[in-house]
Amino acid sequence: MSTNIIKINSLNKWYGEFHALKNINFKVKESEIVVICGPSGSGKSTLIRCVNFLEKFQEGSITVDGTVLSDDIKKIRQIRSEVSMVFQHFNLFPHLSIIDNLTLAPIWVHNKSKQVARNKALQLLDRVGIRDQAEKYPNQLSGGQQQRVAIARALCTSPKIMLFDEPTSALDPEMIAEVLDVMVELAKEGITMLCVTHEMGFAKKVADRVIFMDEGQIIEENHPKAFFDKPESERLQLFLKQILSE
Amino acid sequence: MAVFKQQASKKVPNLKIGVIRWLRENLFSNAVNSVLTLLALYLIYLIVPTVANWALFDATFAPVTNEQCGREGACWRYIIEKLDLFIYGFYPPEAYWRPQWVVILALAFVWIAKLLKQHKYKTKIVTALIIIYPIIASFLLYGGPSLEIIETHKWGGLMLTIVAATVGIVASFPMGVLLALGRQSKMPIIRFLSVVYIEFIRGVPLITILFMASVVLPLFFNEGMDMDKLLRALIGIILFQSVYIAEVIRGGLQAIPKGQYEAADAMGLSFVQKTGLIILPQALKISIPNIVGSFIALFKDTTLLLIIGLFDILSMVHLTSSDENWLGRSTEGYVFVMVVMWIILYSMSRYSKVLELRYSTDHRN
């Protein structure tokens, strides 16, 4: 736990006139689990989507594993091949079977042979508990199963960093647990994770650090214990009160 | 407060209904429907016997002359006598084997592709066949080294219709895909050129383009430099059709959720990989019914070739019925062409349904 695998320096982003990210500075160490929370529209999704350049930014710099993000498409693809993302709406490819969804990136981006990619994919499906669904298509699976496939797909390329963009927000309550379980298992394995989520239980259990954002700024960050027990800023106190009183 | 016992699932009740009840529910459910049903039956009574008598019961198939054929029934002898013209136009009879082989090869290649199913080299073999076929087909039809050349002005009938439609369909499809992608491109110049091209061609009827190709285009050629008339018409058809395909595919592209692009990007796929593996397969699938619809329209539009002096199957009616031995038989000719066209177009429409089912995106069991 020494090197900073993600470094974000005075990052600013605007959507048109709207200042979406205001002077963001933060670093993530290797193997660190960071949870980002905040009210909707606070810029938390935008922030992690900047890390793999799904969103362009106008000012500041992001360095991922020693590579500085720029408009250079080669560098962007290089970073994307090391950073995997899990989306709120899964974004599985509906025209491909589960196994083909998993082997796509290993075969086409990482030049793995079909057999190697397939073996690894089956192993990962086994790990998320749906190996028997390998030949099915995404729409035949429940939401929770689809999100577990999406996590397996993200892991298929052996990424150094995993980005989670509200992975449980689109799920029925009874399916949230099965996805969180997979994420907790993952957290124990030493992969760097950056999670945008409202699951405070998850944050308490596995996060090394929790960040609170509001109106495009980082308002507070702390170790989970201090973050939940002694929130300093008024806005975080209010946010926690609202989110925990449900 | 109450707690309810868990119930076991029951079987669906048998919903079969008798003939009488079916009639009452579907044809005579209320006064208006009853009247409409009776009206429809009356129309059928008026039309079907008349048509059947003309086309079948009073019709003549036997080898007779025009005069011996009755006037109350159809004279199918005329079609039989002129069948070669309807199919091949003025293509020399001793070379009929050439278009026949073109068809046989097409069927054989499709059959080979089907047999290969999961073969290791399937994609490579199919690609090779797709590249080889047009070369063989055009060599057979037109001729070349060691094969007598048959000029395209002798081509005609169904053969010409099918050549024009097939070339139009096959060549306009990739061009349409590129134009659709061009219109969505992030590069302003490519987008601008695609939009200009699409909007220009879309604003012009096919007949104008065919006239341009046959009359105006040669004005730009130097003396002695000439381009085959059919080739010019084909280029016109391809330019025209690609625009409609492009617009249909654009509709499909716009239906792909943003998340699909993002997931592909996040994986590190290149633009070509993302387009070829993720976006186009889904967009084309959605567009199948409209693509086939557009091809059906093109097939019908090939009858416009008549205007620039190419003799497709429809123009053969005009030509053969002015034969003094068979005067006044154009009705039979038009009915024959209608039936041939209908069979081909209906097959295309059914095939589109098959494709839709085969590539159904939903896979919901």
Cα separation, B177 vs B78, whole angstroms: 44
| Strand A33-37 relative to strand A192-196, pairing | parallel
A165: left (phi over 0), alpha (psi -120 to 50) or beta: beta
Select the residue from A91, A110, A149 to test the B interface by mutation, using most B Cβ atoms within 10 A: A91
In a domain, B53, yes or no: no
What pLDDT is attached to residue A1?
A: 44
Mean pLDDT of A15-25: 93
Q: Using N-to-C axis directions, what is the helix angle for B157-184 and B188-202, rounded to 10°?
A: 140
DSSP string for residues in B11-51: PPPP----HHHHHHHHT-SSHHHHHHHHHHHHHHHHHHHHH
Number of domains into which chain B is organized: 2
Query: Residues B102, B231: one domain?
Result: no
CB contact under 8 A, A139 and B259: no
Mean pLDDT of chain A: 92
DSSP string for residues in B152-203: GGGBEHHHHHHHHHHHHHHHHHHHHHHHHHHHH-SSHHHHHHHHHHHHHHHT
In a domain, B72, yes or no: no
CB contact under 8 A, A139 and B362: yes
Higher pLDDT, B70 or B244: B244
In a domain, B267, yes or no: yes
Q: Using N-to-C axis directions, what is the helix angle for A143-155 and A173-187, rounded to 10°?
A: 20
CA distances from B82 to B151, B214, B258, B320, B336 (A): 21, 28, 57, 7, 11
In a domain, B197, yes or no: yes
Buried b / exposed e over B43-59, threshold 16 CB at 10 Å, is eeeeeeeeeeebeeeeb
Query: Residues B116, B191: one domain?
Result: no
Question: Nearest Cβ partner of B266 from A54, A93, A95?
Answer: A54
In a domain, B269, yes or no: yes
What pLDDT is attached to residue B362?
A: 59
Query: Residues B107, B194: one domain?
Result: no
Query: Residues B179, B141: one domain?
Result: no
Query: Residues B240, B128: one domain?
Result: no
Q: Which helix (H) or strand (E) holds A190?
A: none
- Per the structure, the complete domain to which residue B129 belongs is given by 92-149
* Banded model confidence at residue B225, pLDDT cuts 50, 70, 90: low
In a domain, B21, yes or no: no
Query: Residues B275, B126: one domain?
Result: no
Query: Residues B256, B184: one domain?
Result: yes
pLDDT at B365 over 50: no
The most confident of A15-24, A236-245, B144-153, by mean pLDDT: A15-24
What pLDDT is attached to residue A246?
A: 61
Type of residue at B336: F
Cα separation, A69 vs A1, whole angstroms: 23
Which CATH number fits the domain that encloses residue B250?
A: 1.10.3720.10
Domain segments of chain A as ranges:
4-90+161-244
CB contact under 8 A, A54 and B362: no
Query: Residues B131, B219: one domain?
Result: no
Q: Which helix (H) or strand (E) holds B71?
A: none
CA distances from A127 to A118, A151, A186, B77, B148 (A): 14, 10, 10, 74, 68
Cα separation, A122 vs A135, whole angstroms: 11
Nearest residue of B to residue A109, measured between CA atoms = B269
Which chain B residues have a beta carbon less than 8 Å from that of A52? 265-266
* Banded model confidence at residue B223, pLDDT cuts 50, 70, 90: low
Query: Residues B125, B229: one domain?
Result: no
In a domain, B246, yes or no: yes
In a domain, B141, yes or no: yes
Question: Nearest Cβ partner of A85 from B257, B266, B363?
Answer: B266
Half-sphere exposure of B25 (CA within 13 A, CB side): 7
Query: Residues B285, B322: one domain?
Result: yes
Residues B178-219: tens digit of each pLDDT: 999 999 998 999 999 999 999 999 999 999 999 988 888 878
**Which of B100, B115, B149 is where one domain is finished?**
B149
Q: Is the dihedral of CA B229, B232, B238, B239 positive or negative?
A: negative
Query: Residues B259, B305: one domain?
Result: yes
- Is residue B341 within 8 A of residue B300, CB to CB? The reply is yes
CB contact under 8 A, B363 and A137: yes
ipTM of the complex: 0.92
The CATH architecture assigned to A4-90+161-244 reads 3-Layer(aba) Sandwich (3.40)
Give me the torsion for CA of A132, A135, A138, A142, rounded to 10°. Answer: -20
pLDDT at B70 over 80: no
Select the residue from B187, B265, B267, B355 to test the A interface by mutation, using most A Cβ atoms within 10 A: B267
**Within the 70-109 window of chain A, which residues sit less than 8 Å (CB to CB) from chain B?**
77-78, 80-81, 83-85, 87, 89, 91-95, 104-105, 108-109
Hunting for tokens 């009827």 — which residue is that?
B205
* Banded model confidence at residue B124, pLDDT cuts 50, 70, 90: confident
State percent of chain A over pLDDT 70.
99
Neighbours of A72 (CB within 10 A): 11
